Amino acid sequence: MLAAPYVITSCAPAASENAIGFASTGGVYNDILRRVWINDFEKQTGVRVNLSSNTSLTQTKLQTKTDRPQWDVVELTGPWYVLAAQQGLLLPLDTDIVNIKATSPQFVRPYGVEYAMFNDCIAWDRRAVPDRLQPAGWADFWDIKARPGKRSLNTVNGGGTLEMALMADGVAPDKLYPLDLDRAFRSLDRLGRDNVVWSQSFQEPIERLMSQEVCLASSWPFRVASANRDGANLGMTFSQCSLAGDWLGVVRTSRNPRAAFKLINALISSPAACAEFSRLTHYGTPNLDSLKLMPKADADLTPTNPALAAKLYAPDDAYWAANLEAVSTRFKQWQLGVAA
Amino acid sequence: MMASWLATLRARSDRLRGPGWLLAPAALLYGAMALAPLIIILQMSFSEGFGAYARVLTNPLLRPILANTIVISAETTLIAMLLGYYLAATIWRSGPRVRMILLAMVLLPFWTSGLVKNFAWAALLQDKGLINQALQASGLTQAPLTLLHNRFAVIVGMTHYVLPFAIFPIYSNMLAIDRSLERAALSLGATAASTLWRVTLPLTLPGVYAGGLITFIVSTSFYLTPVILGSQKDMMIANLVDAYTHETVDFAGASALAVMLMIAVSVLFALYQRLPKESQHGPL
């Protein structure tokens, strides 16, 4: 009843010659962006950066429907980036300004650069799941008999539930795509609709674990580590988890694309700044030289670290962009309990 | 047409003893805040001709979600009417002090944000929540009952939200009843039950119809409660609009579905406007 999806909530002033808008995810994260990169960028270029906190593909699309967009640079998830590129919402990456040699080619696409890599994790409540039963992957997560209790799965960013269901059924992480949907839904039937609680935000899985509503949850390492620092007793593993990243692109209707691409360049080109960002967030950056500048303990937790990356799988964003509508319809039919 | 409308407006404003231009801010507000977005949504829904409508109508999710919407709204309305009628009658029959307290208890949640009410219910209904703790402490249950993230929780949260919409039409209807009619029935030998059934209830029927219809209308457009208290199984129409907007970023589809929901609700609302007004003698 209270949703107002068409309201543009950012009240940052429209971009002028000397200001650009950068839409990210807000909170502590935006504070870190400002501290690591943006203050220096503003000093060096004289361009003011207005940070917004509510990036989404929906809002990005609305930006392109006006010739005075409030956002110039947008941070997009993988599937969002592919859809934004398909729907013509972004400008082609200006490689005269963005120094892509500072990164590895896997992080560069025609309309953007991947800059913040993070992985999800399997988290559990150590009060409910004893150490001898700690899960080694999704097959254990699916095993209701050995670990009785509800599970939290996510609807955030598509959630990766079907991939999890396939791995729980024995599919190897590198053989997931194209998804075998029949097999995935059979596996979900085995888990049972009523054993799943759907979480819709990044913090909900942690809250559900702590309130003992669920005993296992798909979550994110940064959230689990923060909860444990605050006194929670949660376990986590990265095994069979996904490595995803956020992409930076410039909105097609940007009035100041040169400054926007300069900002993207600033976000990827300094190894020292990237190392500091990884240390503060545990996110990986496309600047692999930054790993060498970090203490080993931090580098070990950074998902672009080759040792950690071997445990993770990369979701196929192109598969998802091409099949999103059909697969998400079928997924909702399963959630509603009606036959496909 | 325009002139006669203006004349009516002028006549009305004369009656209010104020110049017509005082209405301008309100007109501007409704024009900018309500009509303009509606026109934009209508435009977006037709951005591909009838393509978006065809896409929404052939979406296999539409039928189960529509069924959810109707069933959940009907169940909510039924429960809210039963509770609301009893509560309205209690308020009507109490003394001024109790009446004030009861009305405050109905109005306070009515003025509270929907988000707060939903999270409060989530806290009460969860496995380790107050209700389950009390049940287990008293020995009534051994293991926690599943009260949250199911249809039950959705109905509880929605009923709580819509209850004032059920109570007020019935209550204001009751206020208009001449109490001597009941005394007359009782003095002529009717039992309390048959007085309720044959005198009071028929007299309050206009309030019941109005309350029921407005409760149903409000229920059909719920978005938040299925998300917070329900599971994906309890998706309603507004949640499908959200999926079109945020998941597949199909603005035309979202708008088409929203327009269809609006038309359906408008039909119900037109019906509401035509309901017999409350009167001492019940519906004529």
What is the DSSP track for B243-262?
A: HHHHTS--HHHHHHHHHHHH
| CATH superfamily of domain region B51-273 | MetI-like (1.10.3720.10)
Helices (H), ranges, chain A: 27-33, 39-45, 57-63, 78-86, 138-142, 161-168, 181-191, 204-210, 221-229, 257-269, 271-281, 296-301, 306-309, 317-336
| A167 and A253 housed in the same domain | no
Kindly state whether residue A327 falls inside one of the protein's structural domains: no
Model confidence pLDDT, tens digit, residues B178-201: 888 888 998 998 888 898 888 889
**Long-range contact pairs involving B33-42 (C-beta distance under 8 Å, separation at least 24):** B37/A6, B38/B262, B40/A6, B41/B255, B41/B258, B41/B259, B42/B255, B42/B259
Lowest-pLDDT range of A297-311, B79-93, B244-258: A297-311
Cα(A240)–Cα(A197) distance, integer angstroms: 21
pTM of the model: 0.81
Contacts of B15 by beta carbon, 8 Å cutoff, 6+ apart: none
What is the DSSP track for B110-126?
A: HHS-HHHHHHHHHHHHS
Among the three residues A241, A261, A289, which one is the final residue of a domain in this structure?
A241
In tens digits, chain A (340 residues) has pLDDT values of 333 444 444 444 444 568 999 999 888 889 999 999 999 999 999 999 999 988 999 999 999 988 889 999 999 988 899 999 999 999 999 999 999 998 988 899 999 999 999 888 999 999 999 999 999 999 999 999 999 999 999 876 566 899 999 999 999 999 999 999 999 999 999 999 889 988 877 888 998 999 888 999 999 887 898 899 889 999 999 999 998 889 999 999 999 999 999 999 999 999 999 999 998 888 999 999 999 999 988 888 788 888 887 789 988 988 988 898 889 899 999 988 887 6
Kindly state whether residue A336 falls inside one of the protein's structural domains: no
| A292 and A268 housed in the same domain | yes
B242 CA to chain A: closest CA distance, Å? 8
Q: φ and ψ at A46, to 5 degrees?
A: 75, 5
Kindly state whether residue A7 falls inside one of the protein's structural domains: no
Residues of B in contact with A332 (CB under 8 A): 61, 232, 235, 243
Strand A216-219: give its sheet, edge to edge.
A196-199, A151-154, A216-219, A121-125, A234-237
Interchain pair A193, B127: CB under 8 A: no
Interchain pair A2, B115: CB under 8 A: yes
Lowest-pLDDT range of A327-336, B24-33, B46-55, B173-182: B24-33
Among the three residues A193, A216, A241, which one is the final residue of a domain in this structure?
A241
What is the DSSP track for A266-296?
A: HHHH-HHHHHHHHHHH--B-S-GGGGGGS-H
Kindly state whether residue A339 falls inside one of the protein's structural domains: no
Instruction: Return the structure tokens found at B97.
Output: 């002090």
A297 CA to chain B: closest CA distance, Å? 37
Q: Which amino acid belongs to residue A17? A: E
For residue A23, what pLDDT is reported? 96
- Residue A283, number of CB atoms within 10 A of its CB: 24
Is the pLDDT reported for residue B24 higher than 80? Answer: yes
pLDDT level of residue B232 (50, 70, 90 thresholds): confident
Q: Which residues are registered as beta bridge partners of A249?
A: A74
Q: Which domain holds residue A269?
A: 19-118+244-309
B115 to each of A12, A129, A197, B214, B232, how far by Cα in Å? 26, 33, 19, 21, 18
Interchain pair A329, B60: CB under 8 A: yes
Kindly state whether residue A293 falls inside one of the protein's structural domains: yes
Q: Is A207 exposed, middle or buried (0-12, 13-18, 19+ CB in 10 A)?
A: middle
Of A3, A333, A335, the CB nearest to B242: A3
Model confidence pLDDT, tens digit, residues B114-152: 899 999 999 999 888 899 999 999 989 888 888 888 899
| A259 and A304 housed in the same domain | yes
Specify the pairing of strand A196-199 against strand A151-154: parallel
For residue B283, what pLDDT is reported? 44
Element spanning A198, H or E: strand A196-199
What is the DSSP track for B45-111?
A: HTEEEEHHHHHHHT-TTHHHHHHHHHHHHHHHHHHHHHHHHHHHHHHHHS-HHHHHHHHHHHHHHHH
A265 CA to chain B: closest CA distance, Å? 29
| A201 and A282 housed in the same domain | no
Query: Where are chain B's structural domains?
Result: 51-273
Kindly state whether residue A153 falls inside one of the protein's structural domains: yes
Kindly state whether residue A140 falls inside one of the protein's structural domains: yes
Where on the phi/psi map is residue A234: left (φ > 0), alpha (ψ -120 to 50), or beta?
Answer: beta
Interchain pair A5, B235: CB under 8 A: no
Contacts of A283 by beta carbon, 8 Å cutoff, 6+ apart: A116, A117, A118, A222, A277, A302, A303
Average pLDDT over chain B, rounded to an integer? 88
Of B37, B235, B249, the CB nearest to A58: B249
Interchain pair A198, B231: CB under 8 A: yes
| A71 and A130 housed in the same domain | no
Residues of A in contact with B126 (CB under 8 A): 211, 213
CATH number at residue A179: 3.40.190.10
Is the pLDDT reported for residue B279 higher than 60? Answer: no
Q: What is the dihedral of CA B268, B272, B275, B278, to 10 degrees?
A: 150
Among the three residues A204, A223, A241, which one is the final residue of a domain in this structure?
A241
3-state secondary structure of B276: coil
Kindly state whether residue A331 falls inside one of the protein's structural domains: no
For residue B9, what pLDDT is reported? 57
| A114 and A53 housed in the same domain | yes
For residue B22, what pLDDT is reported? 83
